[in-house]
Amino acid sequence: MANVRMSQPGTPATTQPNYMKVFIQRDYSEGTSVKFQNRFPPELESRIDRHTFESTMNKLNEYFAEAEKGSCSTYCEGCLACITAYLIYICTETHYEKCLRKVSKYIAMQNERVYNPKGLQITDPVYRGLRVIEISILDRPGRT
């Protein structure tokens, strides 16, 4: 369920006070794996079309699914880490961290190309502890 809230200054996505925000919550239907709901919030009805929004959410969910998947490479990463007394964690990024970078890059690109021109800004969920995706409506100040 998406919720709307007035913002306060000091968030990573905004430099001006009182943007209206829409929150996309996590979808826990498949367990604790990171996945976000792709239901279209009514507040964005006039700003962006449903298909664009859903494709963004689906792409993000794909990235997170890839991050959460256990595979041969994560097993090897774990073994190598164990053998090197986990010092390898200082030198390289884990599989999940690489996926988070991909997510960050994708969100930055989507913001630049699709959402900012429509007066919206997506905040990377990593800034919210991977609990919500925050979409700020930039040309719609909230009430003080």
Interior CA angle at 105 toward 99 and 111, to 5°?
135
Site string for another protein, 32-51 (x = CB under 8 A): x-------------------
Who contacts 29 (Cβ-Cβ below 8 Å, separation ≥6)?
A: 35
117 binds another protein (CB under 8 A): no
Who contacts 56 (Cβ-Cβ below 8 Å, separation ≥6)?
A: 110, 114, 122
Site string for another protein, 54-73 (x = CB under 8 A): -------------xxxx---
In terms of Cα–Cα distance, which of 19, 6, 12 is closest to 140? 19
Judged by the rule CB under 8 A, the positions of this chain that interact with another protein are 3, 5-8, 10-11, 21, 23, 26, 28-32, 67-70, 74-75, 77-78, 81-82, 85-86, 89, 94-97, 100-105, 108-109, 112-113, 124, 126-132, 134
